[in-house]
Amino acid sequence: MLANRPAFRWIEKLMSDMNTDIACIRLGNVHVVPVSCPSIACEFLKKQDANFSSRPLCMSAELISSGYLTTILVPFGQQWKKMKKIVSNELVSPARLQWLHDMRIQEADNLVRVAAQQYCGNVIRRMVFNKRYFGEGGKNGGPGLEEEQHVEAIFTLLSEALTSLTQRMRLIDRSREGARAMLERILTIRIPSKTVETESKARDP
């Protein structure tokens, strides 16, 4: 049964065949109590929560948690309450989440930047060389060392080109502003002088 379908499927079928809303099934050393009735589920989750929310005791969990001193594998008790308070107040509190907001945004930007770079690199290689990778690629199906170097070189060149173009455009803007200011000064000087000459000629008989 376990090999042919998920555990919850055959447990549900078993309870349906037994015509019961609650059962106790032993899976290895752990007793599983499935419930299909909403009222009984409320009894578990509200009134008897302290009795059924504990983790099972096993040697592997004890060794991993150094004697049940962590958060996830700790059975219900004083240690669990203490760790829950620490996690709620120090790790997932609104103040802590706000404090780590900039770090999360930065890592999200890095993730998007890397994904966008690899996507652009793949498109360029497919268009130019008709291949996704120069070599065999990475062992996990991702880009290999050659592809990473290729993408890094492309975006380095683009960055330098954009930087150089921006600097040249700034120089052009400054030159244009200087030429415009000089032209305005020339016009300011020449136009009043011509106006004075015209007025003097008009006054002479």
Q: What does the angle CA 148 – CA 110 – CA 127 come to, to the nearest 5 degrees?
A: 40
pLDDT cut 90: percent of the chain above it: 0
The HSE-up count of residue 172 (CA atoms within 13 Å, CB side) is 6
Q: What is the pLDDT of residues 29-39, one digit of tens each?
A: 778 888 888 88
- Report the range of poorest mean pLDDT among 53-62, 88-97, 151-160, 172-181: 172-181
Give bridge partners of residue 168 from the DSSP assignment: none
Tracing tokens 């009134």 back to the chain, one arrives at 47
pLDDT of residue 190: 58
- For position 1, what pLDDT does the model report? 47
| Angstrom distance (rounded) from CA 55 to CA 79 | 12
Tens digits of residue pLDDT in 10-56: 888 888 888 888 888 887 777 888 888 888 888 878 777 777 777 77
Residue 35: phi and psi, rounded to 5, are -135, 135
Mean pLDDT for the stretch of residues 179-195? 64
Most confident of 5-9, 18-22, 26-30, 131-135: 18-22
User: 4-8: long-range contacts at Cβ-Cβ below 8 A with a sequence spacing of 24 or more?
Assistant: 8/34
Alpha carbon distance 35, 33 (integer Å): 7
> How confident is the model at residue 196, as a pLDDT?
45
- Mean pLDDT: which of 65-74, 162-171, 191-200 is highest? 65-74
DSSP-derived 3-state class of residue 35: strand
Kindly state the average pLDDT of the residues 113-120: 77
pLDDT at 3: 57
Q: Are 66 and 87 in contact (CB under 8 A)?
A: no
